[in-house]
């Protein structure tokens, strides 16, 4: 075999090896993203939320949560992607992307932890459809949550109100919400 043929053979072998490896990695990634760890169960589109209990008692300012700092939250300069923490796991029905949910919530600016709104101030739980009735951060962050559970969502501005200023929320603000799920329909 001549040197030129040997070089061609080696390059062809390396190209085939690269293609087979890339296909293998792609098939593995597809399999793991469409199966629950090989358990044979149905795949879930829900984000995974680690459990991190928050034990700090929520302080009030002038008898209301609005304007106070969110308890147990350390402000962050920027939220790059939707993040969640389950403060308490629920035991009831599970919310899906098509659910209508009833919840108690407290929303704050992620940059300084200042609460801009809380349903606890009105005494009225919030009810809405996750399919178009809430900001995208809730649409993506609540499914998988069970009734009775408490979840903290850190939401980048583009999944909240974006470049709009809305009732105490400056434009392009990253947000944090503490949500207690009361009911799912």
How many domains is the chain partitioned into structurally?
Answer: 2
Q: Across 99-149, where does the E strand assignment appear?
A: 100-109, 115-118, 126-129
pLDDT classification of 45: cutoffs 50, 70, 90: low
Percentage above 90 pLDDT, the chain: 65
Mean pLDDT of 95-119: 96
Q: Is residue 101 part of a domain?
A: yes
Is the separation of the CB atoms in 156 and 136 below 8 Å? no
Q: State whether 96 and 177 are in the same domain.
A: yes
Q: 22 lies in which domain range?
A: 1-43
Q: Are 150 and 72 in contact (CB under 8 A)?
A: no
Residue 125 scores a pLDDT above 50:
yes
Tokens matching residue 126: 């919030």
Predicted confidence (pLDDT) per residue in 58-93, tens digit: 888 888 999 999 999 999 999 999 999 999 999 999
CATH code of 176's domain: 3.10.50.40
Residue 140 lies in a domain: yes
What distance in Å separates the CA atoms of residue 36 and residue 31, rounded to the nearest whole number?
9
pLDDT of residue 38: 38
Helix (H) or strand (E) holding 8: helix 3-34
Same domain for 100 and 169, yes or no, is yes
With respect to residue 74, please indicate whether it lies within any of the assigned structural domains: no
The answer to whether residue 63 is domain-embedded is: no
Are 93 and 166 within one domain?
Answer: yes
Judge if 9 and 89 occupy the same domain.
no
Which pair of structure tokens corresponds to residue 168?
């105490």
Q: Average per-residue pLDDT in the chain?
A: 88
Is the predicted pLDDT of residue 44 greater than 90, yes or no? no
C-beta of residue 151 within 8 angstroms of C-beta of residue 84: yes
Shared-domain flag, residues 152 and 102: yes
Residues 123, 172, single domain; the answer is yes
Most confident stretch, 33-37, 42-46, 139-143: 139-143
Residue 72: inside a domain, yes or no? no
How many Cα atoms sit within 13 Å of 162 on the Cβ side? 5
């Amino acid at each position: 075999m001549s040197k030129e043929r040997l070089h061609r053979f080696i390059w062809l072998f390396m190209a085939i090896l690269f293609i087979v490896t890339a296909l293998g990695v792609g098939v593995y990634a597809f399999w793991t993203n469409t199966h629950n760890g090989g358990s044979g169960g149905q795949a879930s589109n829900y984000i995974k939320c680690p459990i991190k209990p928050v034990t700090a008692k929520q302080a009030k300012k002038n008898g209301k949560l609005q304007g106070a700092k969110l308890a147990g939250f350390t402000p962050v300069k920027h939220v790059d992607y939707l993040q969640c923490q389950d403060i308490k796991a629920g035991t009831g029905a599970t919310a899906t992307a098509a659910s209508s949910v009833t919840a108690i919530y407290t929303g704050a600016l992620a940059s300084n932890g200042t609460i801009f709104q809380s349903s606890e101030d009105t005494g009225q739980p919030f009810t809405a459809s996750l399919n178009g009735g809430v900001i995208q951060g809730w649409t993506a962050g609540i499914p998988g949550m069970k009734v009775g559970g408490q979840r903290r969502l850190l939401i980048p501005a583009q999944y909240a109100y974006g470049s709009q200023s809305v009732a105490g929320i400056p434009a392009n603000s990253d947000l944090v919400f503490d949500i207690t799920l009361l009911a799912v329909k």
